[in-house]
Structure 1
């Protein structure tokens, strides 16, 4: 039997599994099969595998509901940070991810008594080879139109290190099927993205406040994507709609977070993603060596009640700030 945590960051749902508790040698085929099995049974977006690290307090690996591995997950990192913080009784530390060692820390609550964590999102990469994206021999794509994608929108491509396409849109555009058509085409066989990409549409609400909706590769439309909200915040700073070093309020279908874009020596250095790390259930699992899983026990924590209050307040705000916006 293995104890596990069912959690969410901005209603992006994960199961946290500490590999030290599994009692068997774990390899990537097992991680994939367990992710496929558990995500289907619990309707979660992915599995966060926590293990020892020689570079940091712990290591986090993220496997999506389709069994693919993500290089990073900002919402998941907040949940993992809380688990490690409570396990090891520390508040500020580093976590190793696939491509970077990132700083995390517990911070003041975003709303009520919701456990809130700030996590570093980096590196920030604009070279199209880092996504990868092949586009007419271009090396970068920043606030530019791509006629083959859409005649009315401009796009920015970046990796953090997950690959993202960001575009600012109107309420009518985000309500249409434009995003789904574009994103689904990018995540099938296509001439541009050999490994798929996350696609976010952003609606400006007011000064320093934005709504972000993301179609996430390996998942589809999601309540929120941490690296997408961070990338979208960066694009607003590039576009002159906000300032580096100052927090933005980012609303999403799952609630809201804050982001702070940091510059160092006139270059974008990293982004702070600040939001909830809510534990919804404590689980007892059987993780079998053939890849099958059994949920022996699932006990609600009651933590989600306060988050739902924040989510309801965010929806009320959006109804006034962006009339006609259809939430998922």
Structure 2
């Protein structure tokens, strides 16, 4: 039996499995197989990925995030908010550190971004514009508003890692079909993106307000991707009129977040602030050998769902 929380950050939904309090111990193959089995939206629980909350010697907890295709992501901003909430409630502290693959990151509960929405801020770093950090094979050491010939002759992209790989383009209007086509193509170009890449289209709505949609590596089109919204916000401050050290409203298909770009010693960091909504808690029986599962219990958190719908409606009215 496995107990989990179904949760989401900006509609980017996850299965959160607490290995610390439940004393679970999964092999790497089991993590991959669990992700493929449970994340399947047709035959599984359905989610963009699984968040494994583990013991850490460097922080209060460690987060590992596996995509729905069984691959592991270096970082997940929306998922980190969900883990932040879970750990903060467990240890009864307002600010803690969480270990991720690339860094130990500070997370904390902050002022609500919308009435009734418990809001958590997570640090998105390290940030690099070096193409080798993605990795990406390109003729220059950086790709800032550049054409990537193998991908598109009509769009220009900025490449950065935060620390997972992203390419971002600013458009007049987000065309979902084009985004999906470009995202699929980018992830079928191993000569350019050996480990794949997240692709975001950004529409600037007004000063310090943007709309972002992302084709997420290992997932596909998503309601929201936390690191993509963070990367897109940074690109919008470099190429557009958005400001550093000011909360930028980022609208997405799943709702909205605030991102604050900070710069010190020529290095960027981004604060990602948004919800961490628990949709339901559940337990399931799993047979990984037979690739089968069944429900045991499920308890819905209807109040949290209802409150978030109000934020989502508000976000939709802003586009």
- What TM-score results when the alignment is normalised by the length of structure 1? 0.92
Alpha-carbon distance, 1:307 to partner:
0.7
39, 47, 53: which one aligns with 1:44: 47
**What's the counterpart of residue 205 of structure 1?**
205
Alpha-carbon distance, 1:156 to partner:
0.4
**What's the counterpart of residue 280 of structure 1?**
279
Distance (whole Å) between structure 1 residues aligned to residue 201 and residue 29 of structure 2 = 34
Indicate if the aligned counterparts of 2:127 and 2:267 stay in contact, CA closer than 8 A.
no
Note the 1:133-172 alignment, pairs <5 A: 133-136=136-139, 138-171=140-173
Note the 1:54-73 alignment, pairs <5 A: 54-73=57-76
Q: CA RMSD in A?
A: 1.6
Distance (whole Å) between structure 2 residues aligned to residue 146 and residue 288 of structure 1 = 44
Distance (whole Å) between structure 2 residues aligned to residue 65 and residue 231 of structure 1 = 22
**What's the counterpart of residue 309 of structure 1?**
310
Indicate if the aligned counterparts of 2:33 and 2:288 stay in contact, CA closer than 8 A.
no
**Structure 1 unaligned spans of 5+:** 319-328
- What TM-score results when the alignment is normalised by the length of structure 2? 0.94
Alpha-carbon distance, 1:289 to partner:
6.3
Alpha-carbon distance, 1:295 to partner:
2.6
Indicate if the aligned counterparts of 2:10 and 2:223 stay in contact, CA closer than 8 A.
yes
- 1:234-284 superposed Cα distances (whole Å, 9 cap, x missing partner): 00111142121111000011111000001002332x100000000000112
Alpha-carbon distance, 1:112 to partner:
1.4
Alpha-carbon distance, 1:294 to partner:
3.2
Distance (whole Å) between structure 2 residues aligned to residue 201 and residue 112 of structure 1 = 28
Distance (whole Å) between structure 1 residues aligned to residue 144 and residue 46 of structure 2 = 35
Secondary structure of the 1:145 match is coil
- 1:150-171 superposed Cα distances (whole Å, 9 cap, x missing partner): 3332210000111000000011
| 1:256 to 1:305, Cα distance in 2 relative to 1, 3 A | same
Counting matched residue pairs gives: 314
Secondary structure of the 2:168 match is strand
